[in-house]
Amino acid sequence: MTRSVWKGPFVDGYLLKKAANARNSSKNEVIKIWSRRSTMLPQFVGLTFGVHNGHKFIPVLVTEDMVGHKFGEFAPTRTFYGHAADKKAKRG
């Protein structure tokens, strides 16, 4: 069952404070978070979070498309092994 709309999106309270602090400071730092269950809000767009995956922090730069998704979706907890083959990466 989907979450009731009247409740609004779930976000851990401390995360809002951390995001506000990061916005106010001019330094471009990565915000360490363990709250994989929190929803990405519009005010997080442009910030980079280090989302804990159980043993390290995965950098997640929040973009507009990610709003409404949970942080945990972008930091898999299982180790991924694959072949490079012809796969490409684009420097952002």
Partner 1 sequence: MSKKDNRICLGAIVGVHGIRGEVKVKSFTEVAEDIDQYGMVENKEGTRKFEIKVVGHSKDLLRVKIKGLDDRNEALALKGTGFYVSKDVLPALEEEEFYHADLIGLKVQDEDSEVLGEVVGVYNFGAGDMLEIKLSENGKSEMLPFTKEYVPTINIKDGYIIVRSLINFAEEDEEEISFEDEDNEG
Binding flag, residue 48, partner 1 (CB under 8 A): yes
Binding flag, residue 3, partner 1 (CB under 8 A): no
Distance CA 92, CA 68 (A): 23
Q: What angle do CA 21, 38, 26 make, to 5 degrees?
A: 20
Binding flag, residue 78, partner 1 (CB under 8 A): no
Binding flag, residue 9, partner 1 (CB under 8 A): no
Q: Is 32 helix (H, G, I), strand (E, B) or coil?
A: strand
Binding flag, residue 50, partner 1 (CB under 8 A): yes
Cβ 79 to partner 1 shortest distance, Å: 10
Partners of residue 31 on adjacent β-strands: 49
